[in-house]
Amino acid sequence: HGIEPWCSDGTSQGTRMVADIRPGPASSSPGRFLRVGARVAFCTATWNSGPCPYEGDELWLSDGTTTSRLAQRQGLRWSFTALGDRLFVHEDDAVTCIWTGRPTPLVEQILGANALGSVVAIEDRALVCESTVNGPRLLVTDGTAAGTAVFSELALPLGDA
């Protein structure tokens, strides 16, 4: 096998491969590990044999025993932020919350378009900036669409700087 995700309790007996995501000599090149509740999220690279070999990333979730693919992204990379057992994924202009503390993760779209920058976790809520025709505004969310509200309109200075 190639480079794959492993877990360890610090001993050689307690060290093992979590998953052989790319079987055989190929590598999944796992990285960007992030603790999400009692699990770990990470990305792997997707490659092909064409002239531009990098295709995108896959997002995985593991409890150290089982590993499941949550999403695949072509081309540009995404960012993600953990808040307890919630995983906020920001890609392009959308923000999605994946509730990982369930046997089957629940996915809920928070912001379908116009998200700016990354999601920031603060205590039990997350903040995300949204672009509007009147300028940016700050949203606060608990990870549900119903629990997402405007926190503050961000006034931009007008005129000469």
Q: What is the pLDDT of residues 11-47, one digit of tens each?
A: 999 999 999 988 888 888 898 899 999 899 998 877 6
pLDDT for res 74: 66
Spatial CA neighbour of 34 closest among 83, 77, 101, 97 = 83
Q: Under a CB-based contact definition with an 8 Å cutoff, are residues 119 and 81 in contact? A: yes
Q: Under a CB-based contact definition with an 8 Å cutoff, are residues 96 and 141 in contact? A: no
Spatial CA neighbour of 157 closest among 135, 137, 139 = 135
CB atoms within 10 A of CB 89: 22
Rounded to two decimals, the pTM is: 0.79
Residue 75 pLDDT class (50, 70, 90 cuts): low
Residue 10 pLDDT class (50, 70, 90 cuts): very high
